[in-house]
Structure 1
């Protein structure tokens, strides 16, 4: 195996890889075309795939010519199929025409999906029996002695004939004029292909309706899926969840819609799936659709905590301190101002002592009347200042006090977190059967979640609610806590016989999305749309 110039030639064929296959072109043409394709696809490195062992003169000539233009290495196809490489992002693979059987080996191993190829051929018909997935960028080049014609080749499905689309021309004497748009800007239609779609009606994101004898999805995700059908030009063959669940794992076996995807009973789950690490091991997700943090809901308590210091609550300690200081200063300033007026000849002014001044100021701040009013201008200014301060404080205090009593009264919560719920011991915790929330606990590694499962969920494991109506009915009628997203809870609030409240310290963040089977060829187009 030849060495890569400046780097070791190791990588693997996964999503985002680039492949090139070369026919009997002149060596210089082959090397230049490889360099241009690599630059156009922004590939990090290039490998020549082969199926021979030992030294190969023709292979060495191509590598030597290309090595003068770019970093390039050589890789045996068996290493690619059985071992895989990940040392270089987005590698570009080159296969010579004499090694076209390599394509059949790679196809049989399922390594085409998500990759990009460039094939140098005498005729595209040589690929007529090859299954090139929709998400594989496969460029076939034909050489006429002066110009290489590049065609984009793929199949919408294995049962559909090979699609051949003109990509562009290339020659040594002219600049390349290839499309600058990406793969999913060129491949936009599935030409009426039927996708097997499993759904679960949850009255929030998905509902199933009939219109003109056709099944139509409603709800938020339902509308998204309907738009995708129009934009991508495909049809859906709908089926419902086989057991009414989204999917949870038990003893290595998946149930619900996830299990149907794993068993190839469906290709897409057009419902709300909470993203979890376990599920990502067996299915793929579309881009996230909505945030769906999971909360624990209980029946709203009717008791409120009202302590003896409630009348002091509207103002902070430092604000009360400032009020007392202001009253003290005004009580000092009033007799001082009146006595100065008397000293300067205003004998009509009443003589205020500190005790009388304090009682007068206290009466003003308590909104009480008084029978003596200063006759001097200075004394009346102090009076007016006291009244203005009292009015402003009264308005602020009254508003804050009413708000505190109506909205700020703290509820007497039986517990605020899962750990406190365990200590309380009088509640059961419920989740929807065969849901991701169940796997939060039965597959947990965290000691708290394990204990919650064993003590609060497992004793009632065979009687978990099958839907949200049943779940919230239990919350209202007994000491029952239920895990749900806020979006779902809001959907059922209007029809509940009680008010519910979320535990403030028992929230698990999360997002929801649709799911597809692993290596689903149209996932990239769905995400692009």
Structure 2
């Protein structure tokens, strides 16, 4: 016999203790139980918290015997529950933790005290970490109850009520504080007391931000963000990888952005009385919630993640050190020998000798033992055979065709080998001459540091990265000896840095994207050191930003 579902039983017992009279709420015991069980299964929650007010007269809810029976039943299943008093601080949000997924918090009352408690809790950052269920009394209007409660877009709050002759579960939220309350019909209770929920997922239910206007910071930073200037001094975001992605976000989520544009420059802005660059200015302003987001390519730093939130990783940028190739790396005769490694050339010579030896041997043995009348004596001596095989590899014909099958087989093998080798050499030579791997005069960063004839530079905006940590490999000694001595080592654009690579003994630290963007605009070849550093780039939003989850999903 199949065992009964204990979670169904325990919720029935729990709901029996929730209310003094279900008729007051307009919901039967089975209907209310179906809603809680349905939500618990939908969100796969491992625990349910019943939140009650000490002002209520429903003493059954705090009856010790009922609580003991409820917990006993729950201990036999996978769902944990508890009854907490929201007046004494037992329901403090940081304590409402669940070992399996998010907890479901059930508000069994819609009185004034419960409304004030919900209003207070909705302001806390931990509010969205739970799923909330309000059991609404008959005669209480949803808009009236939530008139002064700001349930943000990242929260999931559901209201159980009876609009007519059926039980409905409605989801409520606001796009932003002060915006109209949005309501969505999430599910209904069937005649068999089963909650039937919508097939529309969370992200589709939040896909319309009702024309919300977000405040954002940005900066012209190719190839990530591209801005154009207007005659009145304003700017428009026209492109760039991050810029195009953000435009796509606006279209999909139906919101607009009010941009504040920052000017590039090392010490153009002041934060906490100190001169700093525009990127640190962005972090400071987003941290203080002056802006919702910074639409710019900021590299992820663990210390920064303590004060602002990052979006999902949007790009992994590879940084390299670019130099002018060594002078002896121009077109030379060694390029024609380059397709094959020296050991392969020796192998090719050995192959010619082996095939010539086989031809001479088969001819000698055949003449002596099998068919002396077939071949002319001394026609295929070892030296003569080498000449014939070499002519095969040069795609030349032959004046005499051997008569024996063994010698003809050697001829066939020699020609096939020659065709394969020639095809491989031709293809590799064409590729080798078309795509030439230029070698720098020094191979490694350590060798560059020791070479006093070369200087190292970068764009001004990357100085904060070099100074901020040492993960990139450019130590303080390299920075002070290679970058600091000459102010010209710090450039404003990637094109300026690459042009200096062509005209001076200068190594340039930049991204691969920048090299691809302006590489065709310089008049020299470039080479790369055996060095690379990866930067993870993302946008930043305010800490616990309610729209971060939606942005990350896009």
Q: TM-score, length-normalised on structure 1? A: 0.76
Give the C-alpha shift of residue 49 in structure 1: 4.1
CA distance, structure 2, for counterparts of residue 24 and residue 439 of structure 1: 64
* Match runs of 1:84-233 below 5 Å: 85=97, 87-97=99-109, 99-113=114-128, 115-121=130-136, 122-124=140-142, 125-142=144-161, 148-170=167-189, 174-209=193-228, 215-233=236-254
Give the C-alpha shift of residue 57 in structure 1: 4.4
Give the C-alpha shift of residue 185 in structure 1: 1.3
Specify whether residues 499 and 186 from structure 1 end up closer, same or farther in structure 2 by C-alpha distance, changes over 3 A only: same
Specify whether residues 354 and 187 from structure 1 end up closer, same or farther in structure 2 by C-alpha distance, changes over 3 A only: closer
User: 1:168, 1:178 within 8 Å by CA — same for their partners in 2?
Assistant: yes
Are 1:468 and 2:494 matched, yes or no?
yes
Deviation by residue 1:117-170 (Cα, 9 ceiling, x = unmatched): 222233321221112111111112336898544322211111323333333344
Q: Indicate the SS of the match to 2:296.
A: strand
Specify whether residues 44 and 454 from structure 1 end up closer, same or farther in structure 2 by C-alpha distance, changes over 3 A only: farther
Bigger shift: residues 286-295 or 142-151: 142-151
Give the C-alpha shift of residue 25 in structure 1: 6.5
CA distance, structure 1, for counterparts of residue 61 and residue 263 of structure 2: 54
Give the C-alpha shift of residue 490 in structure 1: 0.8
User: 2:93, 2:127 within 8 Å by CA — same for their partners in 1?
Assistant: no
User: 1:314, 1:400 within 8 Å by CA — same for their partners in 2?
Assistant: no
User: 2:313, 2:536 within 8 Å by CA — same for their partners in 1?
Assistant: yes
Q: TM-score, length-normalised on structure 2? A: 0.73
| Aligned partner of 1:269 among 277, 294, 302 | 294
Q: Indicate the SS of the match to 1:509.
A: strand
Q: Indicate the SS of the match to 1:226.
A: helix
Specify whether residues 85 and 256 from structure 1 end up closer, same or farther in structure 2 by C-alpha distance, changes over 3 A only: same
Specify whether residues 49 and 400 from structure 1 end up closer, same or farther in structure 2 by C-alpha distance, changes over 3 A only: same
Bigger shift: residues 184-193 or 155-164: 155-164
Bigger shift: residues 143-152 or 480-489: 143-152
Are 1:506 and 2:531 matched, yes or no?
yes
2:82 paired residue number: 73
Specify whether residues 491 and 326 from structure 1 end up closer, same or farther in structure 2 by C-alpha distance, changes over 3 A only: same
Deviation by residue 1:268-322 (Cα, 9 ceiling, x = unmatched): 2223334443443333333444442333322333323959986863826545433
Q: Indicate the SS of the match to 2:256.
A: strand
CA distance, structure 2, for counterparts of residue 342 and residue 387 of structure 1: 23
User: 1:169, 1:176 within 8 Å by CA — same for their partners in 2?
Assistant: yes
Deviation by residue 1:34-86 (Cα, 9 ceiling, x = unmatched): 33321222212222346769xx9444357567654742124566474466747
Give the C-alpha shift of residue 106 in structure 1: 1.8
User: 2:97, 2:103 within 8 Å by CA — same for their partners in 1?
Assistant: no
Give the C-alpha shift of residue 374 in structure 1: 7.3
User: 2:34, 2:193 within 8 Å by CA — same for their partners in 1?
Assistant: no
CA distance, structure 2, for counterparts of residue 186 and residue 423 of structure 1: 60
Specify whether residues 373 and 163 from structure 1 end up closer, same or farther in structure 2 by C-alpha distance, changes over 3 A only: closer
Give the C-alpha shift of residue 495 in structure 1: 1.4
1:332 paired residue number: 361
CA distance, structure 1, for counterparts of residue 498 and residue 371 of structure 2: 77
Give the C-alpha shift of residue 31 in structure 1: 5.0
Return 5+ residue gaps in structure 1 as ranges: 7-21
| Aligned partner of 2:376 among 349, 355, 370 | 349
Bigger shift: residues 30-39 or 379-388: 379-388
2:429 paired residue number: 402
1:36 paired residue number: 38
User: 2:456, 2:506 within 8 Å by CA — same for their partners in 1?
Assistant: yes
1:18 paired residue number: none
2:25 paired residue number: none
CA distance, structure 2, for counterparts of residue 108 and residue 393 of structure 1: 75
CA distance, structure 1, for counterparts of residue 52 and residue 489 of structure 2: 59
User: 1:113, 1:519 within 8 Å by CA — same for their partners in 2?
Assistant: no
User: 1:209, 1:218 within 8 Å by CA — same for their partners in 2?
Assistant: no
* Match runs of 1:409-428 below 5 Å: 411-424=438-451, 426-428=453-455
1:322 paired residue number: 351
User: 1:153, 1:162 within 8 Å by CA — same for their partners in 2?
Assistant: yes
CA distance, structure 2, for counterparts of residue 401 and residue 37 of structure 1: 65
